Amino acid sequence: MKILIYILLFTSFEVMGQISGPHYFDDPSGNTREYFLYIPENLPQLSPLVYSLHAWGDSALSMMSYGSFNNLAEIHKFLVCYPTALIDGDGGSSGWTSWNTNGMSDVDFIMALNQELINEYEIDEKKVFSTGFSYGAEMSHHLARCQNTKVFLAIAPVGGAIFDYMDVCSPTIKTSVFILHGTNDNTIYYDGGYFEGYGPYVSASDATSSWVNFNSCIPYESYIIPNSSTTSGSIEVDKYVNIDDNIHVWFYSIIDLDHYWPTNNNSQINASEEIWSFFKNIMDNQNLSTSEIDNKNKILIKVINILGQEVNPKNQLSGTLLYYIYNNEIIEKKIVKQFN
């Protein structure tokens, strides 16, 4: 919900396809809605479709600037749609663009637009995804919670939350979810809080837990992506899976990051790359992220406890937190489980 201002230069996108728009679409409520597309060169039939939803007060063009998927779309051949919210679309009076996450009007808009794009570009209707930043992240949660058929295979909310007023819908369809949130977010607090005019919202970890529980997932991996001197901090990664249904929930806690879309300038990761990797993993039924560098061939160097002391995991008590340090700079966080 943070207001961000961007100057967009089309020449800054090093791509071969085309930025198409603005396009206009009459939604089911009778409003004329704006959206932009990135169409890769030689887009094949049955390609995936990614919706990228902007923050409060922003637009499709601003999202294309800070949360761009255009280069990735060109490489991996998927269609990207950047819609624009209505002015006071949530029923407020701020005069800024805002998504309707306390009702169904924007759900109906995206669903109707989705069918239009599927038909026009021969998209694979089983490979549709949504991501977004701040209010766009909340709209992604809302879309997944309100779908009564599996329209969205997965969502990836960045710097957003689940507000109490969003309980107009409860999830009924298992959906893979990738939540990314900065621990120093001073707009949508990592630990939850209250936003003036919108009410209380849950913490990033509670939002993750709600999807983990609904999707019947279990923990399968935790590790730390170390920080460097030029970025905000390390990243604590927790992953959960429902193997039977191929449902995944990933949670990236980005230490010290404020209310920004993560890029290689402010974080250890580029959020767009990680999100596309997550979406692709869901499609391909794989578990590896682009951040897990050469993870298949990693070599364990040592195991340490929370005091930094090197230990043998077999000699530790059940419930002890340990850190596994590998040669590829990945640090896995594991809890000892001893069985008799």
**In the chain, what are the domain boundaries?**
10-292, 293-340
> Residue 97 has what DSSP assignment?
B
Place of tokens 């930025």: 19
* pLDDT of 311: 87
Q: What are phi and psi of 271, to 5 degrees?
A: -60, -40
At residue 6 the predicted structure's pLDDT band, cuts being 50, 70 and 90, is very low
- Pair 107, 43: CB distance under 8 Å: no
Q: Count Cβ atoms below 10 Å from residue 44 Cβ, excluding itself.
A: 10
* pLDDT of 231: 63
The span from the CA of 1 to the CA of 23, in Å, is: 25
Name the token pair of 137: 């992240």
* pLDDT of 329: 59
pTM (2 d.p.): 0.81
At residue 9 the predicted structure's pLDDT band, cuts being 50, 70 and 90, is very low
173-149-141-197 Cα dihedral, nearest 10 degrees: -110
The span from the CA of 202 to the CA of 212, in Å, is: 15
* pLDDT of 324: 79
Average pLDDT, the chain: 87
* pLDDT of 340: 37
Q: Helix %, strand %, coil % for the chain, to 5?
A: 25, 30, 50
* pLDDT of 57: 95
Superfamily designation of domain 10-292: Alpha/Beta hydrolase fold, catalytic domain (3.40.50.1820)
Instruction: Inform me whether the pLDDT recorded for 291 exceeds 60.
Output: no
At residue 95 the predicted structure's pLDDT band, cuts being 50, 70 and 90, is very high
* pLDDT of 298: 63
Higher-pLDDT residue of 34 and 244 is: 34
For helices 135-146 and 105-121, the axis angle rounded to 10 degrees is 80
* pLDDT of 12: 35
- Pair 88, 82: CB distance under 8 Å: no
Instruction: Inform me whether the pLDDT recorded for 315 exceeds 60.
Output: yes
* pLDDT of 290: 45
* pLDDT of 334: 75
* pLDDT of 338: 46
Instruction: Inform me whether the pLDDT recorded for 7 exceeds 70.
Output: no
Collapse the DSSP code of 223 into the 3-class scheme (helix H, G, I; strand E, B; otherwise coil) and give the result: strand
Q: Count Cβ atoms below 10 Å from residue 265 Cβ, excluding itself.
A: 10
User: Which tens digits make up the pLDDT trace of 192-244?
Assistant: 999 998 999 999 999 999 999 999 999 888 888 887 656 668 899 999 999 88
* pLDDT of 89: 93
Check the CA dihedral 162-186-89-155 and report its sign. Answer: negative
Collapse the DSSP code of 306 into the 3-class scheme (helix H, G, I; strand E, B; otherwise coil) and give the result: coil
* pLDDT of 230: 63
